[in-house]
Amino acid sequence: MKKIISLLFIVLLSIACEGPAGPPGPPGLPGDDGAIFLASAFEIEVDFTAQNGYSIVEPYGFDVFPSDVTLVYIQWDVTNGQPIWRLLPQIVEFQEGQLQYNFDFTQDDVSIFLDGTIDFGLLGSEWTQNQVFRVVVLPADNVDAVDISSLKEVAKAGNIQTFERK
């Protein structure tokens, strides 16, 4: 009998705890529910020379928050008219040493530079001239939600339609 009364009490208690739904909460931030988030992006063509120290510093030209993450992609090749993009850093081995395309960033700008053990003066123009990069700034909360090694996936997730050429 005690078991039946206890069971009846639990059932009544669980029914009594239900009530009408409360008012809806405020909308979340874009991307919190798997929706598309907005990213900022641009494209830049660079000549790495001894005069510029084999590096460039480019201001973003838009607001970047302290928690944002910058990604840089290099146009590595073109196949059947389609550019092939690779996430930096990228390393190339030569007999004379190693070349690395790399970058760093602040809240104000991005720096793209050559690094490595090779004498950059030995490099042919195909490695230093007319190098095309795409810079993407993402909200840090969304970095884990997308395959950042794929510029196509990052552009899709970040709703990037075009890369403004600087």
Q: Where are the domains of the chain?
A: 36-165
What is the pTM for the complete model shown? 0.75
Among the listed residues 130, 99, 128, the one whose alpha carbon sits nearest the alpha carbon of residue 115: 99
Quick check: 100 and 93 in contact, CB under 8 A? Answer: no
Question: Tokens in use for 47?
Answer: 């000549």
Domain formed by 36-165, architecture: Sandwich (2.60)
Question: For 134, left (φ over 0), alpha (ψ -120 to 50), or beta?
Answer: beta
Q: Give, for all 166 residues of the chain, the pLDDT tens digit.
A: 444 444 444 444 445 455 566 566 555 444 444 445 678 999 999 999 999 999 999 999 999 999 999 999 999 999 999 999 999 999 999 999 999 999 999 999 999 999 999 999 999 999 999 999 999 999 887 777 788 899 988 888 888 888 888 8
DSSP state string for 38-66 = --EEEEEEE---TTTTTEEEEE-SS---T
Question: Tokens in use for 100?
Answer: 């690395």
Question: Tokens in use for 82?
Answer: 């389609």
Residue 21 to residue 102: CA distance in whole angstroms: 53
Neighbours of 112 (CB within 10 A): 23
| Residue 37 CB contacts under 8 Å (≥ 6 apart), including other chains | 30, 31, 138, 139, 142, 157, 158, 159
